[in-house]
């Protein structure tokens, strides 16, 4: 009887261990899926932000971590959960942007001395938050307009007769100018740890990475 009791106790401990291992698998899947959603959103946000600066479109909401749909990020969460042998649901939240994931293991705890474990799946939840790491920096100084030098304009008595157009001005109006229109302005960003970025739409060679602009972390 004593031996049988010890065996039963050992099997019970084994069942508890099986359940704990399955629960850990669920938590790993949930954490990975939530982080995958946040990182996908961060990458999309960074691309949209830099495109907006390059084209002169509104960009400050994007810098604050908002303005991109979360469907693609949640699809990435479900894909990562599947890689960890789990199924997941994903819900996007706002302000700050976050992704709440619930993962269910595809495998069960398995057969044990405890009834019903062969049909029991483990579930776990995780939430990832996407936070901005930068704020708008000082606006660049405007380029001063050129000032005409003295003597460049006509003096007194040099005005053409009222009935005759100026020699350098065609009858149809002002001559066309060859100057191209001004492009979008340069944007300065002040980021964590005192890092400064200058994003010049005309010179896209030195641009911040997505991880420079936004952080992704697991939240309680």
pLDDT tens for each residue of 180-203: 566 788 899 999 988 899 998 888
For residues 65-78, average pLDDT: 94
Grouping H, G, I as helix, E, B as strand and the rest as coil, residue 54 is helix
- Give the strands of the sheet with 196-199, arranged side by side: 134-136, 187-191, 196-199
pLDDT tens for each residue of 86-140: 999 999 997 789 999 999 998 875 555 454 555 566 889 999 999 999 999 887 6
For residues 16-28, average pLDDT: 73
d(CA 79, CA 116): 29
Residue spans of the domains in the chain: they are 11-132+211-219
d(CA 23, CA 100): 18
Dihedral (C-alpha) 86, 91, 92, 94: value to the nearest 10 degrees? -130
């Amino acid at each position: 009887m004593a031996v049988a009791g010890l065996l039963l106790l050992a099997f019970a401990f084994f069942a508890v261990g099986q359940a704990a291992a399955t629960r850990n698998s669920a938590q790993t899947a949930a954490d990975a899926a939530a982080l995958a959603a946040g990182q996908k959103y961060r990458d999309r946000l960074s691309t949209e932000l830099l495109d907006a600066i390059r084209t002169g479109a509104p960009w400050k909401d994007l810098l604050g971590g908002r303005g991109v749909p979360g469907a693609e990020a949640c699809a990435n969460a479900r894909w990562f959960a599947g890689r960890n042998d789990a199924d997941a649901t994903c819900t996007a939240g706002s302000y700050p942007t976050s992704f709440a994931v619930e993962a269910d293991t595809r495998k069960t705890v398995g057969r044990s001395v405890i009834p019903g474990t062969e049909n029991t799946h483990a579930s776990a939840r995780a939430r990832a938050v996407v936070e901005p790491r930068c704020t708008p920096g000082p606006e660049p100084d405007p380029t001063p307009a050129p000032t005409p030098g003295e003597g460049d304009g006509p003096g007194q008595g040099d005005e053409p007769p009222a009935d005759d157009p100026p020699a350098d001005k065609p009858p149809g109006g002002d001559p066309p100018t060859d100057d191209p229109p001004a492009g979008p302005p340069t944007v300065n960003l002040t980021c964590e740890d005192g890092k400064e970025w200058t994003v010049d739409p005309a010179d896209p060679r030195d641009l911040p990475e997505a991880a420079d602009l936004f952080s992704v972390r697991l939240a309680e």
